[in-house]
Amino acid sequence: MLSDFIKQHRLPEEFRLTVKEHYKPLADQFVSQFKISKNPYFVGINGCQGSGKSTLSDFIAEYLITQYQLNVVVMSLDDFYLSSEIRNQLAYDIHPLLATRGVPGTHDVTALNHVLTQLSEHKTGFSIPKFNKATDEPLPESQWTSIKKPVDIILLEGWCWGVPPQTDEQLQIPINELELQHDVTGEWRSYVNQQLKIAYEPLYKKMDFWLALQAPSFDCVYQWRLEQEQKLQAKNIGLSNSKVMSPAEVLNFTQYFQRLSLQGAGTISKYADAVFHLDYDRHIIDTPLMTRL
């Protein structure tokens, strides 16, 4: 199973050691806790762009399905992005920066809450949205993830998932050139922060376990995100109306995420149940586990 996973995801052989030392022990603990609760078990995974959330989630899901015959679903906050039409309306009504997907306020949180509720109640016969970043639009419903049997363990990852809102004082000073030039009054970041507070934070309590992938600094985010975009481009060669970004566009794009990425780095490790500290090559260099398991 591991060899196939490494080949499929084009991972280096050293990934085997990461699995042995970190991923498998964590997955085994999820199973232990799930068996105790006898209810659907929700894992929230936070990490900046390109930190490896998807790879970790996909491996743990495949391992739990293969090793324990559990029904596991991987969800991404990214799949709940609003359509460009709705974001453009937000840009017109509230602030132009909301046309760009990414920050709180650009997701369909009502749909996310509904999906989480259905999963927690062991319901079936519904679908989980999927978003196509290459076109910057949700995929047709026919391509969504269909839930045909009750789910045991849910892995939900997102770059701002679990990040708490900032104080009014923290919002005062622009954090980068994007905010300095395009959010002079602070209206955009204040709206984003308010959405985080009223719509996202209340859903955090639905998670049974929190894992944080902690980047060494925000400096590496551009390179990690650029790698993601290059892989996306390779998968969508010849796509008409492609929204795949150039390196310059990626650099600008990461500025939308900087404020809350730094907020997460400074806060999530204080309450996460497990923290994987990463180096610049995304190797796990430290894993202080907390004791809630």
Domain boundaries, the chain: 2-81+151-281
What's residue 286's pLDDT? 72
53-68 and 24-37 are packed helices; what angle lies between their axes, rounded to 10 degrees? 60
Q: How far is CA 272 from the centre of its chain?
A: 15
Strand (E) or helix (H) holding 210: strand 209-214
DSSP single-letter state for residue 12? -
Strand (E) or helix (H) holding 281: none
Question: Which tens digits make up the pLDDT trace of 154-205?
Answer: 999 999 999 999 999 999 999 999 999 999 999 999 999 999 999 999 999 9
Low-confidence ranges of the chain (pLDDT < 70): 232-233, 238-244, 287-293
CATH superfamily of 2-81+151-281: P-loop containing nucleotide triphosphate hydrolases (3.40.50.300)
Encoded amino acid at 289, one letter: L
What's residue 205's pLDDT? 96
Other Cβ atoms within 10 Å of 189 Cβ, number? 23
Query: What's the CA gap between 248 and 245, in Å, rounded?
Result: 8
* Contacts (Cβ under 8 Å, ≥6 apart) of 92: none
Query: What's the CA gap between 90 and 102, in Å, rounded?
Result: 13
What's residue 240's pLDDT? 62
What's residue 293's pLDDT? 42
**Measuring CA to CA, how many Å separate 259 from each of 164, 211, 218, 262, 292?**
12, 20, 10, 5, 29
Query: What's the CA gap between 108 and 82, in Å, rounded?
Result: 6
User: pTM to 2 decimals?
Assistant: 0.90
> Looking up tokens 């499929």, which residue turns up?
8
Other Cβ atoms within 10 Å of 117 Cβ, number? 12
Closest CA to 57 of 71, 39, 40, 44: 44
What's residue 30's pLDDT? 96
Beta bridge partners of 65: none
What's residue 287's pLDDT? 66
Give the 3-state secondary structure of residue 40: coil
33 in Cβ contact with 21 (< 8 Å):
no
Query: What's the CA gap between 11 and 6, in Å, rounded?
Result: 5
* Contacts (Cβ under 8 Å, ≥6 apart) of 285: 277, 278, 279
